[in-house]
A and B are shown apart, each in its own frame.
Chain A
């Protein structure tokens, strides 16, 4: 079945690092752009990053540029988000989302919660 499953979330301290994973199944992963989107508790959606289908290019939102890195392993059908120097405002549910070669998200994972505290 077509799905995305995030993992790697948890409770961490300010200033530390965390790597999220997103396992894709049921579709040709290497054919799609992939994105990370987050949602702070009780707040709206915030786009974080995109990576091209072949990993050749990536772009980031201003709030995470320089701290977060998106990557992918097409041989493992897996998307990653390396998050460094975490702050309290990074506390959120993190979703991976599939993007056809146009700027929308047609498949979402269930999300993984990241809680950052001091």
Chain B
């Protein structure tokens, strides 16, 4: 099964906003409200940042927001901070075959 498609890298300066896209198909992102996003620092476990397309778990900064349009989901980080530098993964429930897909990951660099 193919992974969801994310850009390999994005970058931004402190204070700026960036958006990471995550493209799928009608069998996953387009047909599911179960889209989630994870932040991962090197050598650490992933951390849930967004669930059900656009909901933030308790404790996650409101600088993180997300949405979905058609077969593409997006994560936006506003007011970038140095601590946001990490890898970000999208994930979606899939109605066929493998039930959960991850994106290939996006490395965020804060310049």
- Do A and B pair up? The answer is yes
Instruction: Spell out A's residues near B (CB within 8 Å).
Output: 35, 37, 44-47, 50, 59-62, 95, 102-106, 108-111
Partner of B1 from the list A44, A62, A105, A108 (CB cut-off 8 Å) is A62
Cross-chain pair count, CB within 8 angstroms = 66
Residues of A within 8 A of B34 (CB): 102-104
B45 engages A44 (CB within 8 Å): no
Would you give the shortest CB distance from B97 to chain A, in whole angstroms? Answer: 6
Q: Which residues of B contact A (CB under 8 A)?
A: 1, 3, 32, 34, 36, 38, 44-48, 51-52, 57, 89, 91-93, 97-105
Say yes or no: B105 contacts A45, CB within 8 Å: yes
> Which of B44, B52, B98, B105 makes the CB contact (< 8 A) with A47?
B98
Q: Which residues of A contact B46 (CB under 8 A)?
A: 45, 95, 105, 108
